[in-house]
Structure 1
């Protein structure tokens, strides 16, 4: 897909389709007004017939409008102008891309970034528009025996802007948006790959490919290495699988040689049956998405390298399957983690925290400036926040503010959850230092307790945990990985890089 900027007269622009907005009560957006005037009020005449009232997400395609050089004009409903905010803007973009895909146009000019969206600037609107186009045209069809014919697929999109500052900001936004969109696509592809293909070995190979492409270091730690490091939590989960576990370490060095890195840790359970505490059969196929935390780390590193961020970033992915087997861990087993702390395993389906705790201890070797782990850790976070926001837990108020601000800039939002000492009371064991799930009346087994468990392995650095179980995938007719929270992580890294400029 090619993206660029367009300036000048819309009426004289030769393109397959021009996309403009219409507010409720048939109020035309600025570009729609320009086209309407140039066409002898053809747009207003069509709207007067009642074919489009301007409700959010509705569309109307016009062909061969008089006195316009374009082949088509797509009108997109925006709702009431006073209610037009970020979510409505994204709805309009998604509707526009969906409608464009049903036409034969190979190129389009998008005028929606001209719309007033709260306090958002032109760069934000163009970046979001680019990512929306990439999202709306994404298809995972590489495993189909007969992939759909490309036909007249959309290949080129221009964003119409005014000359001057908006054009300058737009160029930078396109570069950043392309990098983030590429990271999102990578995360989607990894998440959508089935568990028989996307194994720990497959992830390790993809990491090597990524390192080779961008020139950063990749190290793969094998079972013997994990045993020497004493990663008892990680190895316990891996015991039930015939697939060898891999600790994947990717190190992007874009900053000063002595800069302390930002470490991203992604849960890489390539398929989660629940182990001996086996999950219900219904929707178990979606457990291939349990490695989407790892996928987002891959995507964020890909985006950082494409943007050439002046930053030192380390990605750590503990990758394994969680399977039932004669050698699998059992409820009641006690394991010793890399930190030396012992854990009583009460629920083998709460395995993500067992692989993450050893990866978080391993992160200490980098003397990190900050560590952010990303994991599909608990179903309860989806019950609390749905698919709108990821759950954010942090031991550092400053780091939490950074991530919340990054999520707002990316419109890949997170919501901070409590990590109070009171909740630690749920983690008590008669046979080990603590169990892997809570007990008692205080949030017995929820997203908060899971975060409290991880916090016991993160005392040596600023740390945050993103529970993304509700946001990384969707079910139903649109089943698939979403690529979240790559955009949040990418903006977090951009913010860190800008803060480190000149240091």
Structure 2
């Protein structure tokens, strides 16, 4: 069995106090100020800021957010060209606007060896994340004849201009930004790996490798252990596939006495045909992304360990492949979730909640203070919120806390309700629950109500539905590439940081 790690190595990113002799391109930010355009970090351009600004105005640069304008560098600047990226107005500027600008700039630098930027004078960490993720390419399965040519290869090195490159604060900001970007790229890599190469057993092995390297304790339950342990949801979903399911437990012990503990659960359906309730053929290839929640959870717990967060985090990652076959579960079957709840399977394409429920009950047995689950769970999420806005449901105070943090880091989750009147629609005539309602209304909300049944009393819980945001089927934007996006790694990690600091 292969355990190849499809890790994407981003550009080398370092701090610098001046434009180096090897710089090919200087990247500057451009702000629309009340008194006209302003070049970000102009004082670091060796007295060439005025000439750069004049050249940019001459070719029509406006400073509009994410607008790219390229001009020849003034003589003596030490580079061949200047790339300006718009940041909008002062009111529009935020860490995420810097992150997006850096991402757009990174894509414009294809084929460049070394670039130096002044965006870092606004935010070192956001600049590092944006450049790293904007340059992201996944080319593991491209042969030599279709691999990116030299002029299309990602920029090799980015130098972040700062006043004091040796300061501990600057170094810490860079290290944190790079660690976060690498975690997002890890999640992207896992999502972008095709199901022919990332099936439950292989996914579990890759998670173990990542976890072990970060010092985590990792346990893998195979199909025999799952059957013996009563994990009826995971077994039920996976039994139609020739590639059996897994449950991975990854434990990070960083907490001190009195610090809260957190459980993370991520849906890991390595491919979803819908099972017997089979999906339409059009677009089914995108179901390679149905393990994006699991990828994000794996990346997040590894990141927590790498940055030594002072709290305990345990990740539970159920993995299965949902296939139609003679052994697949049928609509109308009844299964028993871990913990004893019986479920009538009305629709085999509502499989994510079945594997999540098993893992959530098991996670709650360890009495965490907080539980976050994330999944590409419902098409209804995209109907309600579109392709870039995750929905957050759960216990209201924690739900709102997660949403606010997500908006702060630029993943822009939105709090959603769980209407009590929808709960009765999950009642079954033959079992404790049905896995779907008998109508199409509020599908994302009903799915959260289903999961709520498996959250222990007293646990602060948030469910993040990323059906659209986890996988970008359109063109790149900001620091987001086509394919796997890594959402919601940054949200979950920032929530962990907040819990570590504030309880």
The TM-score with structure 1 as length reference comes to: 0.89
Q: How far, CA to CA, are the matches of 2:72 and 2:295 in structure 1? A: 42
Decide which moves more: 225-234 or 84-93. 84-93
Alignment partner of 2:448 out of 451, 470, 477: 451
Go from structure 1 to structure 2 and tell me whether the alpha carbon gap of 1:155 and 1:64 turns closer, same or farther (over 3 Å shift).
same
Structure-2 residue corresponding to 1:464? 462
* Alpha-carbon separation, structure 1, partners of 2:257 and 2:212: 20
Residue number in structure 1 paired with 2:52: 43
How far is the alpha carbon of 1:63 from its aligned partner?
3.2
Partners of 1:48 and 1:376 lie apart in 2 by: 45
Residue pair 1:221, 1:247 contacting (<8 A) in 2 also: yes
SS in 2 for 1:366: coil
CA distance in 1: counterparts of 2:59 and 2:453, whole angstroms = 62
Match of 2:158 in 1: 157
Residue matched to 1:121: none
Q: Alpha carbons of 1:367 and 1:48: their partners in 2 closer, same or farther (altered >3 Å)?
A: closer
In the other structure, the counterpart of 1:204 is: 204
Give the total of aligned pairs: 482
1:34-433 correspondence to structure 2 within 5 Å? 35=45, 38-39=47-48, 41-85=50-94, 88-101=97-110, 104-115=111-122, 125-146=123-144, 147-149=147-149, 153-163=154-164, 168-256=168-256, 261-397=261-397, 399-433=398-432
SS of the counterpart of 1:426? helix
Preserved contact between residue 217 and residue 251 of structure 1 (Cα < 8 Å)? yes
TM normalised by structure 2 equals 0.89
The two structures, once aligned, show a CA RMSD in angstroms of: 2.5
Equivalent-residue separation in structure 2 for 1:338 and 1:408 (angstroms): 34
Q: What residue ranges of structure 2 are gaps of 5+ in the alignment?
A: 1-10, 477-481
Kindly provide the CA deviation profile for residues 179-231 of structure 1, in whole angstroms up to 9, marking residues without a partner as x. 11111111011100111110001111112212321222111112222222222
Match of 2:39 in 1: 29
1 CA distance for matches of 2:49 and 2:381? 54
Cα 1:416/1:30, change in 2 over 3 Å: closer
Residue 486 in structure 1 maps to residue 489 in structure 2? yes
Q: Secondary structure at the match of 2:185?
A: helix
CA distance in 1, matches of 2:191, 2:340: 33
Q: Deviations along 1:225-262, whole A, 9 cap, x unmatched?
A: 22222222221111111111101111111223886531
- Structure-2 change in CA distance of 1:356 and 1:427 (3 Å): same
Unaligned residue ranges in structure 1 (runs of 5+) = 116-124
Does the 8 Å contact 1:78/1:84 carry over to 2? yes
Task: Tell me if structure 1 keeps the 8 A contact 2:364–2:456.
Answer: no
Distance 1:212 1:271, change over 3 A: same
Q: Confirm or deny: 8 A CA contact 2:85 2:101 kept in the other structure.
A: yes
1:149 to partner: Cα distance: 4.7
1:437 aligns with 2:444: no
Report if aligned partners of 2:25, 2:81 keep a CA contact under 8 Å in 1.
yes
Distance in 2 (alpha carbons) for counterparts of 1:153 and 1:388: 25
Q: Who is 1:498 aligned against?
A: 501
* Aligned-partner Cα distance in 2 for 1:279–1:499: 44
Deviations 1:409-458 (A, max 9, x none): 32222111102322212212211112100125xx6460000000000010
- Residues 27 and 83 in structure 2, CA contact (< 8 A), matched pair in contact too: yes
Counterpart contact for 1:14–1:71, Cα < 8 Å: no
Please state how far the C-alpha of 1:374 moved relative to its aligned partner: 0.7
